[in-house]
Structure formats: structure tokens, C-alpha cells
Amino acid sequence: MKEAVITVKNLVKKFGSFVANDNLTFEVYKGEIFGFLGANGAGKTTAIRILSGLLKPTSGEVTVAGFDASHRPEMIKKHIGYMCQRFSLYEDLTVKENIMLYGGIYGLDTVTIRQKTNDLLERLRFSGYADRVIAGLPLGLRQKLAFAVAVIHEPEIVFLDEPTGGVDPVTRRQFWEMIYETAARGITVFVTTHYMDEAEYCDRVSVMSEGRIVALDTPENLKKQYNAESIEEVFIRIARPEKAMID
């Protein structure tokens, strides 16, 4: 029996008259890598912000790590990690100082913070950059660091909002290795992406279009169901049906 760590029932989010999330219902299971696909403006970021307690849902039931997102967002925040679409660590602090800050905010003790820092620096082959200010680092390194910081407190779930946007293929591969390692530690990974090849690496994939979830299954089942070679084809058929016809 799979244990659900995220349960969403009839989630609706409106900004004025604009419906960003239209009646979403899905579950995410413990330890899986859950891919969240969709075109720009499909409502992915809105959903991820609701799940991580940054936005209040207009209606519906959202439970994350056992806590209700409408009423106890601050409890959710204790149990999740979040890596935002826009790089949001402090660029004027060094790598070490950023790790220490977030370790401290999540309540880790000094010894653990030091251990984690050394561990991370070694694992990411970051040692040469430890005392460098972030502002001068290449994008790939920054994204890896942001991910590492997001899971520094060993959360139950980590949300990654387009973590590999603009990153070179080699770094993307390394990034996905980090995702696999994280999932292997039992941390559920909820990831949005534009890259369809990345969707193939996920355990399950959901596809959003115009605020609604239009498909949700394993990559294999989706390909079978849509009789497609790749997730990219699946995506084009369901997310942009009108475009697929023109093609």
C-alpha cells in the first residue's frame, strides 16, 4: 500500500476572475519522484506555491505532510524543502554562509550544520567555492547549491520549481543524479519541468493545461495510452491539441 504524503482534492485557486488551478485532484506517494509538466502559464507554479504554504487555496482540500494547507501552512513549512524558479539564495553571501543560514533557520545544531556543510561541499565538489560569494558562481553550481540547501533539514518532501531551466546538459544530468539520491533517502521529490526528457526520469508524471490536470500516470503508461514514442509527443498531443492538428 502506497502512503500518500500529498493529497489534493478539488483544489481551486482564483486570482480575481482568472482561474489558475481548476479543480485539481491528485495524490503524491512517499519516496516517489513526481513530475509536474505543463506549458508556461498552465498553473504549475501556482499549484507548487499552494502546496508549499506560500499561497492560500481558494477552495478545496490540500494536505501536505499531514497538515492542511489552508489553515496550517507554517506547519507544512517545517516538513518541506522548496527551491524556487528564480534563484533565491543570498548572492552576496558565500556558499558556506548560505548553508549555515538555512541550517540555522531550520533549527539544526551547530555540529550538524558543520557536518552537513563539509558533506555537501565534498559531495558537490564545491570545496574550492566554499568561501566564494554566490554572485560570481556559474548557474549550474548555483542550482545545485539551491537544491542542497532545500533539503539540508532532511524534509519529507522537496518541491523543485523548474530547477534545471537554462542549465547545460552535463549539469542537468548531475542535477538529476542529485534528485535520485534524494529520493533514495526517502525524500519525496515534486518537480516541475519544461524538459520532456526529464519527465521520462520521473516515477509518475502529471500534465497540466489551462489550470487543469489532463493526464496523470507513469511515463510508460502515458506513452502507451497516447500511442507515443516519447513523453514529448504525449505532451504535444494533450497539452496543445490544436497545435498537434496543425502539425
Partner 1 sequence: MRTILFLIRKEFLQISRNKFISKAIFAVPLIQLLVLVPAVTFEVKHIDLCVMDFDMSAESRDLIGRFEGSPFFGVKYTTWSEDEAESLLYSGKCNAVINIPSGFGRDLARGNPAKLFAGIDAINAMKGQLAWAYLNGVISNFNESIISSGMQQAKASVIPRTEVRNRYWYNEMLNYKYYMLPGILVILVTAIGFMLAGLNLVREKEIGTIEQINVTPVRKSQFIIAKMVPFLIIGLADLALGLTLGKILFNIPFEGSLLLLFLGAAIFLVAVLGLALFISAFSSTQQQYMFVAFFFMIVFILMSGIFTPFESMPLWAQKFDLINPVAHLIKFNRMVMLKGSGIGDVSKELLLLSAIAILFTTFAVRRYRKTA
Instruction: Catalog residues that contact partner 1 under the rule CB under 8 A.
Output: 49, 52-56, 73-74, 77-78, 80, 82, 84, 86-93, 97, 100-102, 104-107, 133
The answer to whether 2 and 188 have CB atoms below 8 angstroms apart is no
In contact, 62 and 50? CB cutoff 8 Å: yes
Q: Report the residue number, 53 or 60, with the smaller CB distance to partner 1.
A: 53
- Shortest distance, position 75 Cβ to partner 1, whole Å: 8
For the bound state, the minimum distance from the C-beta of residue 27 to partner 1, rounded and expressed in Å, comes to 22
Amino acid occupying residue 166: G
Please report how close the Cβ of residue 2 comes to partner 1 at its closest, in angstroms: 26
Question: Do residues 182 and 189 touch, judged by C-beta distance below 8 A?
Answer: yes
Cα separation, 174 vs 159, in Å, equals 18
104/241 with CB nearer partner 1 = 104
CA distance linking residue 80 with residue 133, whole number of Å? 26
| CA angle, residues 45, 35, 3, in degrees to nearest 5 | 105
| Residue nearer to partner 1 on the CB measure, 162 or 209 | 162
Contact 217, 228 (CB under 8 A): no
Q: How far is the CB of 47 from partner 1 (least distance, A)?
A: 14
Q: Which is nearer to partner 1, 52 or 209 (CB)?
A: 52
